[in-house]
Amino acid sequence: MRVSTTLPDRTAVVTIPAEGHARRVAALRETIHRIIDTVIDAGKFHHGPQTERLEDALSHAWGGHAVATTSCTQALVLALEAAGTRPGDEVIVPAATFAATAFAVASVGAVPVIVDVTEPTLTLCPKAMEAAVTERTRAVIPVHLHGHMADMPTINQVASRHGLTVIEDCAQAPGASLNGRAVGTWGDYGCFSFWVGKNMGGLDDAGAILTTTADRAARLRRLTDMGRDRTDRHLHHVPGHRARLGEVNAGILTTQLGLLPSWTERRNTIARRYTAAFADLPLETPMVQDGHVHAFYKYALGCEDIAALTDHLANAGIEAERVYPYLLPDLTAFQGITHRTHVTEQSHAATRRLCLPAYPELTDAEVDHVIGTVTAFYSGS
Ligand SMILES: Cc1ncc(COP(=O)(O)O)c(C=O)c1O
């Protein structure tokens, strides 16, 4: 194995960025312009026909009842509120996730209880979850890290034994499924991020929630609009939020929902190529468990030489990122947040992941270049 002894050339031009959304937005430029024109012509900027179409399309494609909102962070807050989470309640979250999962819990006054993840998916460990349950536990938020679903059948069993609400954090997993059942339809609530950089995304921040009944959806929709319903805008029935999605993003997302299956297939094709090419290298390639469709938001390699490999890739114009280098309890933000942790060495594998570019907009030649560069690192050529 080769160890890089030279510093990376920081002036090296990135030709293959870590994320592909700038390419995606550019490719959809004309469609986006058309959607903007349609919205301007309609003169309705929220809760109009685009939002209605998006919610119908999401329910049709994935199941459940969909409510559009402004981000996954907001979706998590709304789901926690709709589930009746009260200050002092405890909500179990995994140690390896984007901070928003736990920030949402803290922002409704509840206590994030941070527990281990388990290999190979690095998602919430059902055993650790059960061990963390107390009489104050209200809910659990499994995160479908990197696009592979958590063990939802077992998590649901544990949750139902203890009367917990299950709120899936699907930010990284639109397009994933288990045994043909879509991500976000396994729990009581499924919260999605449609931030521009996700597998499907608006022009900036966007999100949605799937839930199980029309009543729950109506309650959530009211929460997105200052506690009002659509009949009298001066009547606020419950304390609510400013969290309704704009019509332009809704139109863009409906278009992308139709493209998502082919994008997911392309992500999987690239992932299969990487995995086959790296079979003999000292790397842990991501696994797709039986019955799962992986959304491959990230192609996350287990790797002992992260810094040297990152530098080697950078010198070849390839941007690779470490996701996530820190577990939640290691972040200083949590010193200012009431929380509990049950995190052991078991979760540390999650911090040793290097993510290679693997988005649908990569050309085959770029995929070859990534493969050749990684392979050369280990052959020393
Ligand atoms: C696992 C996870 N949860 C929550 C979020 C928050 O999503 P948003 O940026 O839409 O608020 C993200 C986004 O990056 C995420 O990756």
**pLDDT tens-digit series, residues 125-140:** 999 999 999 999 999 9
The answer to whether 137 and 86 are in contact (CB under 8 A) is no
Residue 260 burial (CB < 10 Å; 0-12/13-18/19+)?
middle
What residue owns the CA closest to ligand 1's atom 13?
A: 171
Q: How far is the centre of ligand 1, averaged over its atoms, from the C-alpha of 251 (Å)?
A: 21
> In CATH, what is the architecture of 260-379?
Alpha-Beta Complex (3.90)
Please give the CATH architecture assigned to the domain spanning 30-255.
3-Layer(aba) Sandwich (3.40)
What ligand 1 atom has the least distance to the C-alpha of 169?
A: 3
Query: For 223-252, how does the pLDDT look when each residue is reduced to its tens digit (9 = 90+)?
Result: 999 999 888 899 999 999 999 999 999 999
pLDDT above 70 as % of the chain = 97
Range 85-97 average pLDDT? 98
Angle at 182 between CA 176 and CA 188, to 5 degrees: 120
Report the C-alpha gap between 149 and 164 in whole angstroms.
19
**pLDDT value of residue 231:** 87
Residue 113 in this model has a pLDDT that exceeds 90? yes
Q: What pTM does this model have? A: 0.96
Q: Which residues line ligand 1 (CB under 6 A)?
A: 71-73, 97-98, 100-101, 143, 169, 171-172, 193, 195, 205, 207
**pLDDT at residue 2 greater than cutoff 60:** no
How far, in Å, from the CA of 105 to the mean position of ligand 1? 13
* pLDDT score at 4: 46
Judge if 30-255 and 260-379 fold alike in CATH terms: no
% of residues, the chain, pLDDT over 90: 95
Site to probe by mutation for ligand 1, drawn from 19, 101, 123, 193 as the one with most ligand atoms within 8 Å of Cβ, is 193
Domain ranges of the chain: 30-255, 260-379
What per-residue confidence (pLDDT) applies to 357?
A: 98
Which of 93, 189, 195, when mutated, tests ligand 1's pocket best, judged by the most ligand atoms within 8 Å of its CB?
195
Give me ligand 1 centre to Cα 79, in Å: 14
Which of 114, 172, 355 is the best mutation target for the ligand 1 pocket, counting ligand atoms within 8 Å of the beta carbon and taking the most? 172
Over range 193-222, report the average pLDDT.
98
Over residues 255-286, the pLDDT tens digits come to 999 999 999 999 999 999 999 999 999 999 99
